[in-house]
Amino acid sequence: QVQLVESGGGLVQAGGSLRLSCAASGLTLNGYAMGWFRQAPGKERQFVGVINWSGGGTGYASSVKGRFTISRDWAKNTVALQMNSLKAEDTAVYYCAARRGIYYSGDDNADRYEYWGQGTQVTVSQ
């Protein structure tokens, strides 16, 4: 059974930092792209960033580039999303997701992702 479990969400002041983690089980991640998406109330799910598990290549939405960083830990089978310089508009539920294949460029499409975590709330106060 495949499971993606996010952790690390919470409440932070604007300008602060949070680190989200996504633990994968029941899945061999070689050949997978691991993505992060977010959804704010009343808005559509939005691409945040992605990492190729095997090669380590990454991509980010323009709204978070330079502030957010995605990394992977081979030993723990986890993916992390380091979020710095947080803004109120970053407030959303953040989801980890996995899909077969390699990410190349641009904003990745959520419809391509096969597996999803349950989400973790990030709230940034002014």
Task: Write the pLDDT tens digit of every residue in 70-120.
Answer: 999 999 999 999 999 999 999 999 999 999 999 999 999 999 999 999 999
Span 43-63, average pLDDT: 97
Nearest to 35 by CA among 44, 24, 121, 43: 24
Decide: helix, strand or coil at residue 112.
Answer: helix
Give the pLDDT band (50/70/90) at residue 35. very high
Give the pLDDT band (50/70/90) at residue 5. very high
Span 57-77, average pLDDT: 97
Span 120-125, average pLDDT: 98
Long-range contacts (CB closer than 8 Å, 24 or more residues apart) made by 63-66: 63/89, 64/90
pLDDT of residue 121: 98
3-state SS track over 3-16: EEEEECCEEEECCC
pLDDT of residue 78: 97
pLDDT of residue 117: 98
Give the pLDDT band (50/70/90) at residue 26. very high
